[in-house]
Amino acid sequence: MIEIIRRLLIAGIALGAIAGNSDEIEKFFDDTVAVTQQICTAGDMRSISTMLDYEFMRRGRYPKTEHFERWMEKNFKENELKPLTTDHWENEFVYTASKDQKRCTLISCGPDGIEETEDDIKITGP
């Protein structure tokens, strides 16, 4: 019985500490999620960029802008976590190839979902 009371007392103290710091815990969680989304998006973009560069080396050109989604489906395995052409904020990647298909740009619009803001992640090739 004393052991049960001791455990309940420890649990109560722990819950009190957590409840007293709930704002800090929530901020820590939100910051962790934000950093994870950024790291995962950057990793996805690096993988896509590597395959785009391989395409360029193999064919001498990048895929046309309008063929990007089809190219992604052909070169990457679909998963249940998220669509292939979206970042980890659920925004579509912005892919553009130059008219001669010798240069390309891949952009994640970041958490705000707006292109050309400071939270964007951008990779250009070659």
Q: Hey, where are the domains in the chain?
A: 2-125
Tokens 């895929």 — which residue? 63
Tell me how far CA of residue 113 lies from CA of 37, 45, 97, 102, 104, in angstroms.
Answer: 13, 16, 21, 27, 20
| Amino acid of residue 47 | S
Mean pLDDT of the region 70-82: 85
H or E element that contains 105 = strand 104-108
What is the per-residue pLDDT across 79-112, written as a single tens digit (0 to 9) for each?
777 888 999 999 999 999 999 999 999 999 999 9
Domain 2-125 is of which CATH architecture?
2-Layer Sandwich (3.30)
CB 97 within 8 A of CB 103: yes
pLDDT of res. 26: 73
pLDDT of res. 16: 62
